[in-house]
Amino acid sequence: MGKDAETRFYGATVVGTPAGSDKDNDVDSLHSEEVPGRRQIGLISAVFIIFNRMIGTGVFATPSTILSLSGSVGMSMIMWVVGAIIASAGMWVYIVWGTAIPRNGGEKNYLEYLLRRPQFLATSAYAANGVLLGWASGNSIVFGEYILRAANQDAPGQWTRRLIGFAGITFCFLLHGTRLRWGLYLQNVLGTLKILILLVVVITGFVALGGHLKVPKPNNFSNAFEGTTASASSFCLSLYNVVWAFVGYSNASYSLSEMKDPKRTLRIAGPFAIGLVTVLYILANIAYFAAASKEEITSSGTLVASLLFTNVYGRKAARALDVFVALSALGNVLSVIFSQGRVNQELGREGILPLSKLWASNKPFGAPLAGLGLHWAICLITIFALPPGDAYNFVINTISYPLSVINAVIAFGIVYLQFRPYPDWKKPGWGAVAAAAFFGAANVFLFVVPLTPPPAGGEPYTSLPYWTHAVAGWAVFGIGFVYWLLWAHVLPRVGGYTLVRQKEISSDGLVRNVFRRVKN
């Protein structure tokens, strides 16, 4: 192949692309490299992929934190409505991107399309975030904790919780890696169970509103805005917690190559999931406030849902709730590892990771077993290597922080493309652009707030500075930048070689990029 068919970038060469072209990053190219023969995700499964990621344990516990920070029942409810609006705008952003580039990998593809120069820098920064952070580790431990609570083990040892969490995430890894269809069925079952749990919570709230309580009626709605905080930092931190309770609306975008009619499915599944979760979240909060006083909710130190069940049905019913919370956490782990395994597979197909052929593979069960295993291994490090307390909380907070930065970039990217579109970009309507601008601003807020001093009593750590996880989140992107600099620039110069990218079709039908070293 002649040199006129090569493009050089920091010591690397792309083969098969005219000089100066962005062909490998256009919509048609990104759309064409699909996962062969695996369109097993229908509309119902897509809805539950979103449900399981969104509904973890936050809605059962977070309301106490939000009430403490907002100061009143009325303001707390407003925070939940604002959070729902932000999540809806985020869903719109992911629908725009997902229908433009219906391929596995989610934000990886959107960043590659947007940030084309320097080539592979955006991919490397995203890879550090996707590969190095144990997204499924937090709810794995929560699963272990609530299994033990259900067994009347109120003060279990740290290792017991971790071992049960290990068993839970290992089960999820093996199921998704060896029996894709069974994994989807179980996700659907657990997603249905989560909805039923929330419906029981809502019905219990109506029972409480009817006066059927084992405690005095709290009358929280009489002076709903009494005690509203005047602290801007408390308000910001309250909204921050609400928004994270809605995270997961993007989950279907990681498996679009495996989705039947992905554009139509995403347009239906996304809004339906967001709408139903929003209604259930708001009604669940009304239920909590109908059954327990403000003081009980803010000082209990337990699941708010447990207070609801205890005050209406008694302690035995609250004990039964622990089983359902554990299953809710397991459903979240199933959904997270399902998505992150596909992110790892797409990064492997890009060819920039060490052992890329392994991570890109679909063998031997027609599922990304290696990509799932990579995320499983990172989660095990998080689960077992970190002591409880500040170190563990720091890592969990660091995992969530970079997502706000990525969301801001892809949201403002839609705004940018509306005014300076690439030749192959189909402009969305102005409603989508307005939603993207709003969502981008909301995510700037989310990654700026952790850098500002929290209100008294709102510090995330006992001994670490409040900003530690925010700085660490930026450091994760820094690791990706250093890797890119070494891999694509420094090592080729020092070694006297050029990286040449070629496309390869593996025996399982997957198209992937391969970089070969050619001596200068």
- pLDDT on residue 454: 80
Question: Which three-class secondary structure string do you get for 336-378?
Answer: HHHHHHHHHHHHHHHCCCCCHHHHHCCCCCCCCHHHHHHHHHH
The structure's pTM equals: 0.86
- pLDDT on residue 501: 85
CA distance 308 to 304: 7
Q: Which of 218, 199, 198 is nearest to 208 (CA)?
A: 218
Over residues 222-279, the pLDDT tens digits come to 888 888 887 777 787 788 888 888 888 888 898 898 898 999 999 999 999 999 999 9
- pLDDT on residue 31: 53
CA distance 518 to 516: 6
Length of the chain measured in residues: 520
Domain 3-519 has CATH 3.50.50.60: no
Over residues 40-51, the pLDDT tens digits come to 788 999 999 998
In Å, how far are 101, 102, 118, 302 from 425, measured between CA atoms? 10, 14, 20, 49
CB atoms within 10 A of CB 255: 26
Q: Where are the domains of the chain?
A: 3-519
The helix (H) or strand (E) run that includes residue 9 is strand 6-9
- pLDDT on residue 30: 54
Contact 63, 304 (CB under 8 A): yes
- pLDDT on residue 185: 92
Query: And the tokens for 348?
Result: 């492997």
| Long-range pairs for 503-509: beta carbons < 8 A, 24 or more residues apart | 503/16, 506/357, 506/360, 506/361, 506/362, 507/363, 508/36, 508/361, 508/362, 508/363, 508/366, 509/36, 509/37, 509/362
- pLDDT on residue 398: 85
Taking 70 as the pLDDT cut, the residues of the chain under it are 1-38, 154-156, 300-302, 457, 508
261 contacts: CB under 8 Å, gap ≥ 6:
none
